[in-house]
Each structure stands twice: as C-alpha cells, then as structure tokens.
C-alpha cells in the first residue's frame, strides 16, 4: 500500500524501512521506482533499474540528487524484509527493458516476487482500446 509523502517524511529519512518503494515523477505519465535497501557500512542504499544501466545499487544521497524534487510518495513495504536484499542481488545487472523489465517491474518483483508493471499494462490497454476505436470509426466511414 502506498501513502503520500508527508513533510515529516521529507525531512526525516529515518522512517524508511528496507523494501520501501521510492516513487518519483518522470513526466506526465511515467514514474521512476526505486527500492530502499537499508544501511551498509554507514551508507543508506537504494536499488533501481535504470535505462542504459540496468539493476544496480546506489547511495540514497546519489539517488535523491536526481529524484528528490520529483519524489511523490513512498510505497511502504509490510512484507518479510529478509528476502529484499537476496531478491535485489538475484537481478543485479539485469538490463532495463521498457516492456519486460523496467523500474516498476523491478520494484514490484522485489516487493512481491511477481514481475509486473501497471504503467505498461495501462499503456497496452490504452493502445488496444485506441486501435479498436479507430477500427470501429474507420469501419463506419466505409
């Protein structure tokens, strides 16, 4: 379940739990998803699947350097945190693929074990509906 970012969340990152999803706006219709991976050697880490890079770890401060202004919400993770790092490690280096393994596919897999992207599902449904509508309109004009 996702919850909106509050002012306290923006000021205090101490509220982050391993497996929380950081969701940033990347334009009118797209979002970027990262997963908080916890603190290791005194550094807070995020895992993401990035275009031209694939799945990787990066420090939270580096992740926020690009996305902090666009951070829309934190999707709180309420499952078993012990599986988060092993799931991330199992896909490190996996290439980004817009339709089959983008940042949302990655985040959904890490949190649930299922590879899924609602953004892709919605785009496919919208495209399919548009094709059907165009077919119906062009069929009427004949």
pLDDT tens, residue by residue, 68-102:
677 888 889 999 999 999 999 999 999 999 989 99
Q: How many CA atoms lie within 13 A of 31 on its CB side?
A: 19
Residue 22 to residue 35: CA distance in whole angstroms: 6
Domain edges within the chain: 2-116
- Phi and psi, residue 51, nearest 5°: -55, 135
pLDDT at 3: 40
């Amino acid at each position: 379940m996702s919850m909106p970012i509050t002012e306290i969340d923006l000021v205090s990152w101490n509220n982050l739990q391993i497996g929380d999803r950081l969701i940033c706006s990347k334009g009118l219709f797209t979002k970027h998803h990262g997963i908080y991976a916890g603190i290791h050697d005194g550094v807070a880490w995020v895992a993401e699947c990035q275009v031209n890079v694939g799945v990787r770890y990066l420090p939270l401060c580096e992740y926020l350097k690009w996305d902090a202004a666009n951070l829309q919400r934190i999707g709180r993770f309420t499952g078993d945190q012990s599986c988060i790092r092993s799931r991330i490690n199992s896909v490190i280096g996996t290439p980004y693929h817009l339709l089959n393994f983008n940042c949302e596919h990655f985040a959904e897999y890490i949190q649930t074990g299922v590879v899924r992207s609602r953004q892709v599902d919605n785009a496919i449904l919208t495209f399919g509906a548009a094709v059907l509508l165009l077919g119906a309109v062009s069929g009427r004009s004949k």
